[in-house]
Chain A
Amino acid sequence: MSEREMEEIKKLLKKSLPAMGDVELRRDLWPAMQQRLAQASVHVPWWDWALLASAGVAMWLFPATIPALLYHL
């Protein structure tokens, strides 16, 4: 491909896709960032739920384990 062909494509692209270099951020994104941080801090990983479920199943199947579980809490 020649330099001229490259320039032709470049011209065509610039005609349809103006440069976005001057586009400015119109609002402060800090509130959105804070929301993201807050969501992350209350996120419970799936294995914690799995552990809770298995503890529940264990208590239901073997009620004798309840005092032992309570002792370890």
Chain B
Amino acid sequence: MEVLEQFAAGDSDAFESLFRQYQGEVFRWIIRIVRNRATAEELTVETFWRMYRARARFDAKEGNFFGWMRRIATNAALDHLRCVRHEVELPEQLPDARKQVPAEQNELHHAIFSAMDRLSPRVRAAVLLALVEEEPYEDIAKTLGISVTAVKLRVFRGVRVLRKELSSGGVHP
């Protein structure tokens, strides 16, 4: 029996094997949306917990495991963003956070973070994935379970809000 079928049947060794194989992939996807290492680690565990609970509903023969896993990871990340909305996450998670940043750039960071916080989690995720991470629109659409047109619309809406918020904060793109 394939490992996916074993997992769907409730085999814990198969689950461990899938966890070890895909934990990095899930983490890398989630951190693109939440942009915080500790949160991404917690949400990686949450994602696999949701997958474990939903394993009986996964079609091991016909289903796309990778797509299913990414959708669950995205939902876990979006649920987190809904919970922490209006708590601006400071840029401690940035890869070059330890570098000294000039005051002007620091102000820009804060303006961007405040503006991002005005976006709904779904729009924020679309903007981050499309414009910052430069993920293909098709991949974002599959992961969010919407059409490519809907992703483009979310990005467009997000950019419009960001422009407005940044302009009102004195930053003129």
Contact = CB atoms under 8 A, between A and B. Distances in A.
Interface of A: 1, 5-6, 8-30, 32-33, 36-37, 40
B163 A17 contact: no
A9 B94 CA distance: 19
Given A20-B31, A30-B16, A9 B173 contact: yes
A2 B134 CA distance: 19
A14 B20 CA distance: 31
Contacts of A36: 45, 49
Interface in B5-31: 16, 19-20, 23-24, 27-28, 31
Contacts of B163: 1, 5, 9
A20 B89 CA distance: 15
B163 to A, nearest CB: 6
B55 interface: no
B41 A32 contact: yes
Given A5-B159, A32-B41, 16 more contacts: A5-B163, A12-B173, A15-B108, A16-B105, A16-B112, A17-B91, A19-B32, A20-B32, A20-B93, A21-B28, A29-B23, A30-B19, A30-B20, A32-B45, A37-B49, A37-B52
Contacts of B109: 16
A10 B45 CA distance: 31
Size category of the B interface is 35 or more
B108 A16 contact: yes
A70 B128 CA distance: 61
A36 B76 CA distance: 15
Nearest to A16: B112
B159 A21 contact: no
Contacts of A33: 19, 45, 48-49
A18 B95 contact: yes
B173 A24 contact: no
Contacts of A12: 108, 112, 166, 171, 173
A3 B73 CA distance: 31
A38 B35 CA distance: 28
Interface in B59-110: 91, 93-96, 105, 108-109
Name the residue in B95, B132, B166 with the highest tally of chain A Cβ atoms < 10 Å from its Cβ. Answer: B132
